[in-house]
Amino acid sequence: MSKDEAGLRALVACDEPVTARAIEQAFLDEGIEVLRVADGREALDAVRNTDVPQFAVLDSLLPRIDGPTLVERLRVDERCKSLFIVLLTQESDSNGWRRARKVGADDALGKPVVPDALSLRIGLWTRFQAMQRAASSGASHDQVTGLYSHGLILETAQHELDRAAREEMPLSILLTDVDHLRQINDAYGHQMGDKVLAEVARRLQIALRSYDLSGRYGGEEFLTVLPRCGRANAIEVGERVRRAVMAEPFEIDRLKMDVTVSLGVATTMGDEHVPARKMIRAADHALYKAKREGRNRVEIAVSLKTWAGRSI
């Protein structure tokens, strides 16, 4: 991807010259223009006084304005709502990721920065941006939830599975089902049910990484593609989604209701080519188990054998 083709810009805010240069080079290798600064105040001024970049890598320990504070200030700016922010941390992967998400960042990288890890983030993000543009131009979003349509999410799942097999990297599929939606429809009407689906979709997106891809798969089901995500991490993502949905009662048209979801997970390690429909059948089997075991839980498929589940 050339710079002219991409038209993308990145902000790198780091006061460690060696680290900053390595990050800058990773972007340049992808044809992405870089604006490099050495402290938080410079970074904030750069965003306010120029066109907002699409990507930002911010060191947590920046002078004048530290990284977490800078993230919070950027997120207040409406122009920065879609800015993809990676926070550099001194913590372990899981702790750093949680802290980054808490302040509004999309992802975290531990220091010292591993160039391949950053290149992975850049690659996933640029693919995500390309898919978003393609989806927008093709009007391929579900009108109720704003997520990808059934057809587009299936196409996306197969595309990412093919890539996972080529790169021999893990990928997981997450199938999310709204518990007892039929009862909500029967009691309050389908318009209320649609509003519940829209709120579930909103909470789902908050719980996911910015480059995870979700679509409305069926009436009350959502399909999510988790690139570069193994079994343990996929379960963690599923639990985040489950907790996000049930964290607060839904308040819709002066009604309060508790809503939960059940989730099924299927994972491939990228060591073979797997059709999307096979992955989804496996995730659907795990979802069926979650509902059979009482709902509001996450279950994972033990293998990718062809389940005798429904056709899709």
Greatest Cα pair distance, the chain, in angstroms, is 62
CA distances from 301 to 111, 283, 310 (A): 34, 6, 15
The amino acid present at 121, given as its one-letter code, is R
Is 78 annotated as catalytic?
Answer: no
**Taking a C-beta distance cutoff of 8 angstroms, is the pair 123, 166 a contact?**
no
* From 24, 220, 221, 299, the catalytic residue: 220
Q: Which residues are catalytic?
A: 220
